[in-house]
């Protein structure tokens, strides 16, 4: 039985990243045994009686989750056993005991030697209060970049877990149980769960990305219980709490822990002929309206991703009416506009692309296709003379890009992005296409190639749409966007803690700006700073910091490509930042914070003062995520994930609430037609 349920610990984490990439895996087989030889044993038992003091500890020898405390009797033994259960279901996610500091948290033996009992007790009881008042706690937070979550343990539970840790220091590392055996059906189902929930961050072939590598070697080193606890509680650095959020059951976590300790299966390819087979032209261009069928200002439409139902809702930005709802694919991810703005292109995590015609009444799907099993990005051709002509889709799997006709989605070409990594020069079997931008200066798209660390340049004026250049940058490239000129592509190299600056026109890396742990700018935000000229900014997933960097090599060369303002924030978990020329504010969210209050907040940085002016809470529940301005920059739209979700609309200057669109299922990214077509951010 789950110890958390048994002791009634409250669940404070709410779903995020709830549905990820859907994908068909390759490997099958009959019986997939994850069983490794049973470690530990029954434990020899100690002779501890009473309050479980220092001496006479139990013989450890944990097997499937219970230690061998056979000889322990009375309150002390029971207490240590209770403490062990808590340790094995919570603390083990991040801490070892005598096993060495992990990348997630310090070793507990070390903590107990270094700090007195009262201190450890106070820290476990209320980490946030300690971080506020105690200098040792502050040093710890500074070192690790986050405050340990508060697990709401009672005084008795804290005592028991401390007793357990105290006694463990004499015994050595905790032995983890063997993984369960998986039947063929369980293996296949778990493989799908991995692709749906984990592959987006850890890679199709489990080589890592936003999250660390979890191939079988890494997984075995973590151990069954550590993996299960990580899946249950998530981490303060952004891994969702799949168990606490009610998305993965105890059994599913157990099976995932076993699956991850088995060799990595190979995923299938998707050649162009197969992609062509998925193409569905719903309305040929010749049958489409030649002028809008409605009188609405379609350039002020908002396309809103409803992630969990895999839909896009189209809203009239003037009246807030929902004018259409269109199915677009599993865990819909983002929208991009054609360069005239008439069409939206939606991409689902299952690689399905949907072309939405905004001139029909109501707006409707005009074509569909699937270019990948797993994808996150699309972009249209934006260079003069190529308006609405082409669309590119970047795949997470297979390692390729696909080019479609922009009006029909007919698949035209695909190209591999496999290659060697920029740092090791070793060949890779998985290279994911992350963010894509379309140059306003030439007929090219710039593609972030995550694992290899290149920015690829695809020329859509050339036959076959070739990858004409691979600019070596940094590995772990993720999200990014243009500077205000459209010459420099600013993209996060997340694990390198940098924003890379690529001069796409000159095919060169201009700078690498060290900003902080796991920068996550979305497409970023461009504005004119009172001192430093044009700047851009990012918050971070891994630490509480807003970094503002100069992007004005012409007007303010002495500040270009350097962090010019650094603002410490109380919490990590930032995802998006956004502004508009018409607004005095730069807004940012922190939906992946481990502090539930912060997840609901939006903070407003003042362009005038160069400081965070205030934060506000769009909703008393759920999480605030992602922003978009309306066409003229007079309104700010914020998504709230709740039950149900909603969009809250603010005046872009006063930040006074103007309205709410309620009853939406997981509203996430919002894309105003004009702003998306013209790269306004």
Residues paired with residue 375 on neighbouring β-strands, in sequence order? 395
User: At its nearest, how many Å lie between ligand DHE and the CB of residue 386?
Assistant: 18
Number of H helices, E strands in the chain: 15, 33
User: At its nearest, how many Å lie between ligand DHE and the CB of residue 347?
Assistant: 9
Tell me, yes or no, if 94 is annotated catalytic. no
- Please give the Cα distance from 142 to 519 (Å, whole number): 17
Per-residue interface string for the shown chain with ligand DHE, residues 644-673, x marking contact by CB under 6 A: ------------------------xx----
User: At its nearest, how many Å lie between ligand DHE and the CB of residue 587?
Assistant: 12
The DSSP H or E segment spanning 403 is strand 400-405
- Please give the Cα distance from 670 to 222 (Å, whole number): 38
Residue 239 near ligand DHE by CB under 6 A = no
Residue 328 near ligand DHE by CB under 6 A = no
Residue 522 near ligand DHE by CB under 6 A = yes
Tell me, yes or no, if 60 is annotated catalytic. no
Residue number, 200 or 553, with CB nearest to ligand DHE? 200
Pairing state between β 645-651 and 635-641: antiparallel
Q: Of 333, 478, 540, 626, which is the active-site residue?
A: 478
Among the listed residues 385, 564, 566, the one whose alpha carbon sits nearest the alpha carbon of residue 461: 385
Per-residue interface string for the shown chain with ligand DHE, residues 582-621, x marking contact by CB under 6 A: ----------------------------------------
Residue number, 382 or 626, with CB nearest to ligand DHE? 626
Residue 580 near ligand DHE by CB under 6 A = no
Contacts of 425 (CB under 8 A, 6+ apart): none
Residue 497 near ligand DHE by CB under 6 A = no
Residues paired with residue 454 on neighbouring β-strands, in sequence order? 449, 472
Residue number, 317 or 522, with CB nearest to ligand DHE? 522
Among the listed residues 337, 414, 415, 326, the one whose alpha carbon sits nearest the alpha carbon of residue 379: 337
Per-residue interface string for the shown chain with ligand DHE, residues 42-81, x marking contact by CB under 6 A: ----------------------------------------
Tell me, yes or no, if 615 is annotated catalytic. no
How many other β-carbons are positioned within 10 Å of the β-carbon of residue 612?
A: 16
Residue 324 near ligand DHE by CB under 6 A = no
User: At its nearest, how many Å lie between ligand DHE and the CB of residue 494?
Assistant: 9
User: How far is C-alpha 301 from the chain's CA centre?
Assistant: 27
Q: What is the DSSP letter of 86?
A: H
User: At its nearest, how many Å lie between ligand DHE and the CB of residue 334?
Assistant: 4
- Please give the Cα distance from 156 to 352 (Å, whole number): 52
Q: Of 148, 239, 270, 372, which is the active-site residue?
A: 239
Q: Of 94, 111, 162, 198, which is the active-site residue?
A: 198
Q: List binders of ligand DHE among 347-406 (CB under 6 A).
A: 376-377
Tell me, yes or no, if 478 is annotated catalytic. yes
**Cα end-to-end span (Å), the chain:** 49
- Please give the Cα distance from 26 to 429 (Å, whole number): 15
Tell me, yes or no, if 239 is annotated catalytic. yes
- Please give the Cα distance from 306 to 335 (Å, whole number): 11
Residue 262 near ligand DHE by CB under 6 A = no
User: At its nearest, how many Å lie between ligand DHE and the CB of residue 681?
Assistant: 7
- Please give the Cα distance from 305 to 670 (Å, whole number): 6
Residue 334 near ligand DHE by CB under 6 A = yes
Residues paired with residue 347 on neighbouring β-strands, in sequence order? 334, 353
Residue number, 95 or 336, with CB nearest to ligand DHE? 336
Residue 626 near ligand DHE by CB under 6 A = yes
Per-residue interface string for the shown chain with ligand DHE, residues 407-446, x marking contact by CB under 6 A: ---------------------------xxx----------
Residues paired with residue 490 on neighbouring β-strands, in sequence order? 481, 501
Tokens of 659: 């309205």
Residue number, 182 or 372, with CB nearest to ligand DHE? 372
What is the residue whose two structure tokens read 């990214």? 669
Tell me, yes or no, if 520 is annotated catalytic. yes
Tokens of 112: 């107990």
Residue number, 20 or 227, with CB nearest to ligand DHE? 20
User: How far is C-alpha 173 from the chain's CA centre?
Assistant: 32
Q: What is the DSSP letter of 14?
A: -
Residue 201 near ligand DHE by CB under 6 A = yes
The stretch among 16-24, 114-122, 131-139, 381-389 that binds ligand DHE (CB under 6 A) is 16-24
Q: Number of residues interacting with ligand DHE: please give it, by CB under 6 A.
A: 23
- Please give the Cα distance from 84 to 79 (Å, whole number): 8
Among the listed residues 439, 356, 443, 447, the one whose alpha carbon sits nearest the alpha carbon of residue 393: 447
Contacts of 259 (CB under 8 A, 6+ apart): 32, 34, 182, 187, 190, 191, 194
Among the listed residues 246, 243, 222, 224, the one whose alpha carbon sits nearest the alpha carbon of residue 232: 243
Residue 20 near ligand DHE by CB under 6 A = yes
> Could you give the C-alpha distances from 631 to 188, 333, 521, 583, in angstroms and in order?
46, 22, 21, 12
Binding residue for ligand DHE (CB under 6 A) from 210, 260, 444, 673?
210
Q: What is the DSSP letter of 178?
A: P
Q: List binders of ligand DHE among 447-476 (CB under 6 A).
A: none
Residue 513 near ligand DHE by CB under 6 A = no
Residue 338 near ligand DHE by CB under 6 A = no
How many other β-carbons are positioned within 10 Å of the β-carbon of residue 99?
A: 15
Q: List binders of ligand DHE among 161-200 (CB under 6 A).
A: 200
Residue 560 near ligand DHE by CB under 6 A = no
> Could you give the C-alpha distances from 15 to 59, 248, 340, 600, in angstroms and in order?
40, 11, 36, 13
Shortest-Cβ-distance residue relative to ligand DHE? 200
Q: Of 69, 166, 520, 626, which is the active-site residue?
A: 520
Q: What is the DSSP letter of 650?
A: E
Residue 478 near ligand DHE by CB under 6 A = yes
Which residues are known to be catalytic? 198, 201-202, 239, 478, 520
Q: Which residues contribute to the site for ligand DHE (CB under 6 A)?
A: 17, 20-21, 200-201, 210, 307, 333-334, 376-377, 434-436, 478-479, 522-523, 575, 625-626, 668-669
């Amino acid at each position: 039985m789950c110890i958390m349920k048994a002791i009634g610990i409250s669940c404070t984490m709410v779903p995020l990243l709830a549905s990820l990439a859907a994908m068909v895996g390759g490997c099958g087989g009959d019986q997939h045994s994850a069983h490794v030889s049973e470690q530990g044993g029954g434990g020899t038992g100690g002779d501890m009686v009473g309050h479980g003091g220092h001496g006479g500890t139990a013989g450890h020898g944990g097997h499937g989750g219970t230690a061998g405390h056979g000889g322990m009797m009375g309150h002390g033994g029971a207490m240590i056993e209770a403490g062990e259960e808590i340790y094995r279901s919570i603390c083990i996610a991040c801490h070892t005991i005598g096993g060495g500091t992990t990348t997630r948290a310090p070793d507990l033996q070390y903590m107990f030697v270094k700090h007195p009992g009262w201190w450890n007790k106070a820290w476990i009881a209320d980490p946030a209060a300690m971080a506020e008042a105690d200098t040792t706690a502050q040093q710890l937070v500074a070192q690790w970049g986050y405050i340990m979550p508060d697990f709401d343990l009672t005084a008795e539970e804290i005592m028991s877990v401390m007793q357990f840790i105290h006694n463990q220091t004499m015994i050595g590392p905790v032995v983890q149980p063997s993984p369960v055996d998986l039947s063929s059906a369980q293996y296949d189902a778990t493989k799908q769960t991995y692709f749906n929930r984990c592959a987006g961050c850890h890679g199709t072939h489990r080589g890592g990305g936003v999250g660390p590598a979890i191939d079988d070697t890494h997984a075995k080193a973590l151990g069954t219980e550590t993996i299960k606890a990580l899946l249950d509680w998530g981490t303060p650095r952004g891994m969702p709490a799949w168990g606490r959020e009610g998305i993965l059951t105890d059994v599913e976590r157990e099976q995932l822990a076993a699956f991850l300790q088995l060799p990595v299966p190979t995923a299938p390819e998707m050649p162009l002929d197969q992609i062509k087979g998925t193409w569905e032209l719903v309305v040929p261009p010749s049958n489409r309206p030649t002028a809008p069928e409605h009188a609405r200002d379609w350039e002020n439409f908002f396309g809103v991703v409803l992630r969990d139902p895999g839909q896009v809702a189209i809203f009239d930005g003037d009246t807030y009416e929902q004018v259409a709802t269109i199915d677009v694919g599993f865990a819909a991810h983002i929208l991009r506009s054609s360069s005239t703005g008439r069409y939206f292109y939606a991409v689902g995590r299952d690689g399905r692309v949907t072309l939405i015609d905004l001139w029909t009444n109501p707006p409707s799907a005009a074509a569909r296709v699937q270019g990948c099993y797993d994808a996150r990005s699309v972009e249209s051709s934006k260079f003069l003379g190529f308006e609405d002509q082409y669309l590119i889709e970047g795949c997470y799997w297979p390692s390729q890009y696909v080019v479609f006709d922009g009006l029909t989605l007919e698949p035209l070409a695909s190209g591999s992005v496999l290659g060697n990594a920029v740092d090791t020069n070793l060949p890779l079997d998985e290279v994911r296409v992350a963010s894509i931008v379309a140059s306003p200066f030439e007929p090219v798209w710039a593609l972030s190639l995550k694992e290899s660390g290149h920015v690829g340049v695809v020329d859509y004026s050339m036959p076959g749409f070739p990858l004409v250049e691979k600019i070596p940058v940094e590995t772990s490239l993720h999200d990014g966007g243009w500077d205000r000129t459209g010459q420099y592509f600013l993209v996060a190299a997340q694990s390198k803690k940098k924003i890379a600056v690529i001069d796409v026109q000159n095919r060169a890396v201009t700078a690498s700006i060290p900003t902080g742990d796991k920068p996550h700018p979305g497409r970023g935000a461009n504005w004119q700073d009172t001192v430093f000229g044009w700047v851009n900014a990012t918050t971070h997933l891994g630490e509480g910091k807003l970094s503002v960097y100069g992007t004005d090599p012409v007007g303010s060369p002495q500040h270009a490509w350097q962090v010019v303002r650094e603002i410490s924030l109380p919490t990590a978990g930032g995802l998006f930042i956004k502004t508009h020329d018409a607004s005095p504010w730069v807004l940012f969210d922190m939906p992946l914070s481990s502090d539930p209050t912060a997840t609901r907040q939006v903070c407003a940085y003042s362009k005038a003062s160069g400081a965070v002016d205030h934060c506000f809470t769009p909703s008393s529940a759920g999480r605030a995520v992602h922003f978009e301005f309306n066409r003229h920059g007079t309104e700010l739209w914020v998504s709230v994930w709740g039950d149900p979700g909603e969009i809250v609309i603010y005046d872009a200057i006063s930040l006074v609430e103007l309205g709410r669109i309620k009853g939406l299922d997981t509203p996430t990214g919002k894309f105003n037609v004009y702003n998306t077509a013209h790269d306004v951010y």
